Amino acid sequence: MHPILARYGPFFLYSYTVVLALGLAAAVGLTAWLERHGREPMPGWIDGLIVAALAGLVGGRAGFILANWNYFAQESGQIALVWRGGLSYHGVLLAGLLGLFAWSAWQRRAFTGYAGLLAPALVLFSAFGWLACYLEGCAYGQEATFGPLAADLPDSYGVFALRYQTQLMGLVLCLLLLPAILYGRRRLRPGPLFCLSLALLSAIRAVVSFFRGDEAPHLGSWRWDTVLDASVAVVAILFLLVIIIRQTFRSRQSA
């Protein structure tokens, strides 16, 4: 683990911040390339991405603070130190989508078109998020027995043990999903592509959550993030089915 990459006097360069910044740059570059080689131009997409990113940053930090309010109530000075790590994935996702939807409505443009354009970027940025957690030590795995999925890794407090490599699981699965989404982009309309991307990305997180050992609120015997990710996957699949049925009905009417 390398939570701190460098120190410049009283200032620290955190790996979490650097990796997420690189992930955002890679996501912007990928989206620019896809828009340039897409079926139709998507004017102003960079503005929509900026709005979604800023909204996601605020929502992700707010979600993390609420989930860890017992700590932040005592350490209120830590609330604004987002560069040290601490973002809620679900907060980023929900706030980012709401930001993109609000921007699309304001610009009178189709939300699904821009959501579909940004779908590969979402998968790529998620991969960088898992890498950032690997370097930071967050989203660590449960203690495990020796095997290919386990390694000597620390938790958030620096305590090493033989643990499931949950961060690398998420990273590898996201990198495997990315080419599939890029291939699907050639065959699917933006709406179905986004729903499929969100469903598979949430399914990956739900599966990996069974191996995680970091603290999380529980709903009965289930981790709350497992329930949320599974729910998002189901809702995304339902939206995908609705879109497919509507498109099939319209094509039959036109025929």
Residue-wise DSSP of the chain: --SEEEEETTEEEEHHHHHHHHHHHHHHHHHHHHHHTSSS--TTHHHHHHHHHHHHHHHHHHHHHHHTHHHHHH-GGGTT-GGGS---HHHHHHHHHHHHHHHHHHHT--HHHHHHHHHHHHHHHHHHHHHHHHHHT-SPBPB--SSTTEEEEE-TTS-EEEEE-HHHHHHHHHHHHHHHHHHHTTTS-HHHHHHHHHHHHHHHHHHHHTTB-S---EETTEEHHHHHHHHHHHHHHHHHHHHHHHHHHHHHHH-
Q: What is the mean pLDDT of residues 15-19?
A: 87
Region of 12 please: left (phi>0), alpha (psi -120 to 50) or beta. beta
Closest CA to 64 of 82, 87, 93, 83: 87
Q: For position 249, what pLDDT does the model report?
A: 80
Q: Tell me the residue range of the domain where 101 lies.
A: 4-254
Q: Which amino acid is at 112?
A: T
The count of structural domains within the chain is: 1
Q: What is the mean pLDDT of residues 80-84?
A: 68
Mean pLDDT of the residues in the chain? 89
Give dist(CA 152, CA 109) in Å, integer. Answer: 49
Q: What is the pLDDT of residues 107-151, one digit of tens each?
A: 999 999 999 999 999 999 999 999 999 988 889 999 999 888 999
Calculate what percentage of the chain has a pLDDT beyond 70.
94
Distance CA 63, CA 57 (A): 10
Judged by average pLDDT, the poorest of 33-42, 188-197, 225-234 is: 33-42
pTM over 0.85: yes
Give residue 207's pLDDT.
Answer: 97
How high is the pLDDT of residue 233?
A: 97
Tell me: pLDDT of 182 over 80. Answer: yes
pLDDT level of residue 209 (50, 70, 90 thresholds): very high
Q: What is the structure's pLDDT at 86? A: 72
Q: Establish how many alpha carbons lie within 13 A of residue 40's alpha carbon, considering only the half-sphere containing its beta carbon.
A: 7
- Return d(Cα 88, Cα 242) in angstroms, integer: 29
pLDDT digits (tens, 9 = 90+) for 197-207: 999 999 999 99
